[in-house]
């Protein structure tokens, strides 16, 4: 397939904007907001898809990637060159639908070959109206995004690709940026449901019950809890403290999800109410950013984010390095060294428990005077390594200790016990300064 590149130069494309006629030779073009264009052929549905262009570095797990709600309104560039080899199936989806706004691959599989495959990835994209492009130089796209930051973009295929270059670029520039996007409510469930331990191999009574706020939760997350004997009440993103108390939980959880954490005022307010109740808290990804905001820290947009299943993180309490699954474009701006007083002083001391070994971005927070902690990455390992599975056990230990009155916090000792907690200047936007 030709890979012609031109220097000529949001909203997810709706099903009405895409046709479902497969055409491997139909022209398509990928347009970045700075004017750079990459030409290839159609993959999946034909039409127009607008969103934020990001790259994901996982060499496997593409089905889990495209069904992760955290990718809502994003055009995902797969850095692995061969995509679709194992097809798709009914078991590996992480949510009820594909959430990526569009999909960009280099060499799409001509046919899937795997004993679990039920249909091809191309067929799945067509069925769900997801516009994609194949036959483009994804390495060049990735290098461009790393050098110039993530940006708005568009995929145009079929009749849409025939428009003049200026019209295509104008469409991209008219699309909404990710900054200021409030998306968690769009991807969350409308009604609460329960994931019960007995349905996932647990023999006996449930050990604990938790309320989990769905901000874009992945299916494997409540399953990982259920496998450990924890009953999970999954609640909508708009839930209140009264909704949480109604399920009489032993702990509180906030999930991963899409959008700008600066827009999550309702969830920050809810979490502060939960922390005031001294209910044990665990947050993942978006839930980490919400804990940061609840404690009084700020958040900021990363230059190109962390996306993939090979991101190195250090647990500063143990000194161990974990290879983690990540998908985030925003981060918490908190002091990296030692325990510090939370800007919201009633929550006491807090420390950065995990950091990225690539760029020192905050990858976890641990409160020292209240039972709360969070991580920026995805320990459910779908897809991804199992290095971080211990975090589910850590939360169970926190709930057990709080229930038995043995501990009010997570820590054995602070990361830097030699330094007292004190307000510190926060200026760790390492990746953002590149």
Which candidate in 285, 322, 351, 363 is catalytic?
285
Partner residues linked to 19 by β-bridges: 46
Taking the C-alpha atoms of residue 161 and residue 169, their distance in angstroms, rounded to an integer, is 11
How deeply is 313 buried, as exposed, middle or buried, from its count of CB atoms within 10 A (0-12, 13-18, 19+)?
Answer: buried
Supply the Cα-derived Rg of the chain in whole angstroms. 22
Q: Which two tokens stand for residue 369?
A: 């005077």
Which candidate in 144, 328, 354, 378 is catalytic?
378
Q: Look up 306 and say whether it is catalytic.
A: no
Q: Look up 285 and say whether it is catalytic.
A: yes
Q: Which two tokens stand for residue 44?
A: 């999946």
Q: Look up 354 and say whether it is catalytic.
A: no
Which candidate in 64, 94, 380, 431 is catalytic?
380
Active centre residues (catalytic): 285, 378, 380
């Amino acid at each position: 397939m030709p890979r012609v590149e031109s220097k000529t130069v949001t909203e997810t494309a709706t099903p009405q904007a895409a046709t479902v006629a497969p055409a491997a030779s139909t022209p398509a073009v990928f347009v970045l907001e700075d004017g750079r264009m990459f030409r290839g052929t159609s993959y999946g549905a034909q039409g127009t898809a607008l969103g934020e262009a990001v790259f994901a570095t996982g060499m496997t797990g593409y089905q889990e990637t495209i069904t992760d709600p955290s990718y809502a309104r994003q055009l995902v560039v797969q850095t692995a060159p061969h995509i679709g080899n194992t097809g798709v199936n009914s078991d590996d989806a992480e949510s009820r639908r594909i959430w990526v706004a569009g999909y960009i691959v280099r060499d799409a599989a001509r046919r899937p070959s795997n004993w679990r495959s039920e249909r091809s990835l191309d067929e799945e994209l067509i069925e769900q109206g997801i516009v994609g492009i194949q036959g483009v130089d994804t390495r060049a796209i990735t290098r461009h995004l790393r050098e110039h930051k993530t940006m708005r973009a568009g995929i145009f295929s079929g009749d849409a690709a025939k428009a003049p270059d200026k019209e295509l670029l104008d469409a991209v520039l008219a699309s909404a940026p990710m900054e200021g996007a409030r998306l968690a409510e769009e991807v969350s469930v409308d009604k609460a449901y329960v994931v019960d331990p007995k349905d996932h191999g647990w023999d006996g009574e449930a050990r604990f019950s938790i309320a989990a706020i769905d901000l874009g939760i992945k299916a494997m997350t409540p399953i990982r809890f259920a496998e450990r004997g924890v009953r999970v009440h999954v609640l909508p993103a708009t839930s209140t403290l009264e909704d949480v108390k109604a399920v009489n939980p032993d702990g509180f959880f906030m999930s991963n999800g899409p959008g700008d954490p600066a827009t999550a005022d309702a969830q920050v307010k809810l979490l502060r109410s939960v922390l005031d109740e001294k209910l044990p808290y665990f947050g993942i990804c978006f839930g980490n950013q919400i804990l940061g905001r609840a404690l009084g820290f700020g958040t900021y947009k990363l230059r190109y984010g962390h996306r993939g299943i090979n991101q190195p993180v250090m647990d500063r309490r143990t000194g161990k390095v974990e290879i983690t699954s990540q998908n985030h474009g925003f981060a918490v701006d908190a002091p990296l060294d030692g325990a510090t007083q939370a800007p919201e002083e009633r929550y006491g001391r807090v420390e950065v428990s995990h950091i990225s070994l690539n760029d020192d971005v905050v990858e976890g927070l641990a409160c020292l005077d209240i039972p709360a902690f969070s991580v920026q990455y995805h320990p459910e390992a779908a897809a991804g390594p199992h290095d971080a599975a211990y975090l589910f056990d850590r939360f169970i230990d926190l709930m057990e200790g709080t229930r038995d009155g043995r501990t009010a916090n997570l820590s054995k000792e602070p990361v830097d016990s030699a330094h007292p907690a004190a307000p510190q200047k926060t200026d760790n936007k390492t990746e953002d300064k590149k």
